[in-house]
A and B are shown apart, each in its own frame.
Chain A
Amino acid sequence: MSAAISMFVFGAITAVLSLQLPLGALRMPGSGFFPFTLGLALMALAAGHGVRIYLARPKAAAAQAPASSTLPEGDGATRRVVLFVTGVIAAVVLLKPLGYTLASFLLMLALLQILGIRRWYISLAVALGSAATCHVVFVRLLQIPLPSGWIF
């Protein structure tokens, strides 16, 4: 249901924003015509889909069918994903101040911890090794202008 609602809202936002653009006429559609039509179509599909899910609801509840989600659940799943994404966000924020090489070392260290590598020397070795390899390959060999910090 959350999916249908999200789709409907996205369609509505698109349609409303499109109205601020010139719609044009049928013989000469303007910039807003295509996105406006798409927004309306998305709203219609989402509404129909939502109603169908709502009508089918009692049956699904009786069968105790978990929505056809393909995500693993329980056992701190959401917590790990949130931590993982937070780790990446932190690394991207630190990318410019610290420079690519140091940021990638910290990113690896954090992600390895989040995924449950227990022995600290393994984490350290893998993080050091991958940051060094990436530095050599991407910064030195491929010469990608990655942000450089105060060490590298």
Chain B
Amino acid sequence: MIESLQYLADGFAVAMTGQNLLYCLIGAIVGTLVGVLPGLGPIAGIALLIPATFGLNATSALIMLAGIYYGAMYGGSTTSILINVPGETASVITCIDGYQMAQQGRAGPALAIAAIGSFIAGTLAIFGLVLIAPPLAKAALAFGPPEFASLMIFAFVVLSNVTGKSLVEALMMAIVGLILGTIGMDPVTGNERFTFDSAYLLGGIEFVAVAIGVFGLGEILVNTAKPPAQLEQRVLVPHFRDLYPTLQDLKRSIGAILRGTGIGFFAGLIPGPAPVIATYAAYATEKRLSRHPEEFGRGAIEGVAGPESANNAATQSAFIPLFVIGIPFGPVPAILLGALLIHGVTPGPLLISDSPQLFWAVVASMYIGNFILLLLNLPFVPLFANILRVPKKILLPLIMLFCVTGMFSVNNSVLDIWMMLGFGVLGYVLRGWAYEGAPLLLGLVLGPKLEVAFRQSVMISHGDFGIFVERPVSLTLLLLTLVFLVFPLLKRAWQSLRPTRSDGTAPGGPQ
């Protein structure tokens, strides 16, 4: 503990250097923009900025990319509140009461509470990270290939269970991702696989192309499909002087902020799109605990404070599995893992002991980043809101141009642009089928790791699959996986036995 604080102090020293402060600021600003702009989420946003980090050392690069992630969580609430359009899926819930508050002329307090809640949650969650990451990493040192293989299978099934409406559809997407991940060189023997004699495919599918394609271009195309009239929007930009919440607002919000922080922190530790789940759970909790539940949906400030705190806490704690075991539990940490690998950093149980400087500097930069974001979001929110006045008809082509340019700059390759375009069309088709892109991306990034862990395990055991159930940690993970696989089936069977409540009672999932 004391040791951790000492390291953290050193981390601050690194994070406070002029260069790193600058990258933290750039990350926070870009993240806020990404959160505000339609068609550009944190996944595509981070992927686009990866080439810009090539000239930097790994620490500065991660400081900036992490800033984009949590910055987007701050920025996502702005559009939810002002125009009822969530900037991110994690801000869908904020639309409900946030937009109602804006309609009642209370956009300012809603925005302010979202920023304050995010700040408190972010700061507390980072503290949690400091406390539990080092001991967790020590425990994870005992993990061998069988444990890693079981953990990844567990992650896929849980992620598939919580993202989409259908477990089978999500699992299929994960498998498609895993298959795409096998293209290129076999990580164990070096054999070529599915390259069709193309030197381009030898290095595997460029995950940045998949990320920008499925998540960026796919979203742009969905917007393009909307009737032109829908692309116009009226924006009420609040004045600076209206921003401050009343004492009453703060009093009502503080409980919601703290509960949201707790919920979000634990959501980040389980596989899945943590920030999204956290917001739903926090909203439901606030509504249940409230003394005036009838206000929810009509502009209850707790309905903004709880979910916005939760998504920020989840964002920070989602870094724990990434740093400690090297396995991302959601699509955004998966992109960050890809970026780290490009910079020659392999996250895992040894990261904290081998590269303490990197780990603690990034953690320290998160404190600083949260502070910067509070400053950015409180006084400057009207400035960012003005971006919303630019018509989508102009924004969409611009974002498209950025995607093409950004994709090229990853490898200076036109082939990458074609790859991105192909995955963009795929992303559009997937939305048509209402399939999720997140399991696909996770499969693509984790595929090679899963294959290596699996093949090493059976090599160790000389072909005996018992190795996965003889080791207690691996067995526990597989049993948990089984529970997650069987539970939805049991639930469906139970529901079909009671046919009276078949339609219309299920709550809608995130868009």
Contacts and interface: CB of A to CB of B under 8 A. Distances in A.
A70 B408 contact: no
Nearest to A96: B414
A59 to B, nearest CB: 10
Which of B393, B465, B511 has the largest number of chain A CB atoms within 10 A?
A: B393
B176 A92 contact: no
A77 to B, nearest CB: 4
Nearest to B448: A34
Contacts of A48: 168
Contacts of A144: 51, 405, 408-409, 412
Main secondary structure, interface of B, reads helix
Nearest to A40: B175
Interface string B134-154: 000000000000000000000
Given A38-B179, A84-B221, A146-B405, A30 B189 contact: yes
Nearest to A8: B172
A96 B435 CA distance: 35
Contacts of A33: 455
B393 A116 contact: yes
Contact of A134 (B194, B228, B401): B401
B171 interface: yes
Interface stretch (B123-131, B346-354, B424-432): B424-432
Contacts of B383: none
B193 to A, nearest CB: 6
Interface string A128-142: 001000100010001
B408 A146 contact: yes
A142 B397 contact: no
Interface string A16-36: 010001100111111111110
Contact of A17 (B171, B194, B227, B511): B194
A34 B394 CA distance: 45
A4 B215 CA distance: 21
Given A85-B421, A96-B414, A107-B404, A34 B182 contact: yes
Given A3-B435, A68-B434, A70-B434, A27 B396 contact: no
A81 interface: yes
Contacts of A74: 227
A84 B193 contact: no
B308 to A, nearest CB: 24
Contacts of B165: 68
A88 B393 contact: no
Interface residues of A, number: 68
A34 B225 contact: no
Contacts of A60: none
Nearest to A42: B175
Nearest to A1: B433
B401 A31 contact: no
Nearest to A108: B397
Contacts of B435: 3
Nearest to B182: A35
Contact of A70 (B186, B409, B417, B431): B431
B10 interface: no
Contact of B458 (A27, A31, A72): A27
Contacts of B397: 107-108, 111-112, 115, 126, 130
Contact of B462 (A27, A39, A81, A130): A27
Contacts of B172: 7, 42, 45-46, 49
B497 interface: no
B191 A81 contact: no
A18 to B, nearest CB: 8
B225 A117 contact: no
A78 B172 CA distance: 26
Which of B398, B401, B418, B511 has the largest number of chain A CB atoms within 10 A?
A: B401
Given A108-B397, A112-B397, 20 more contacts: A3-B169, A11-B175, A22-B191, A26-B463, A26-B465, A31-B189, A35-B182, A49-B172, A68-B165, A68-B434, A70-B222, A71-B431, A75-B227, A89-B421, A104-B405, A107-B404, A111-B400, A115-B228, A117-B394, A130-B398
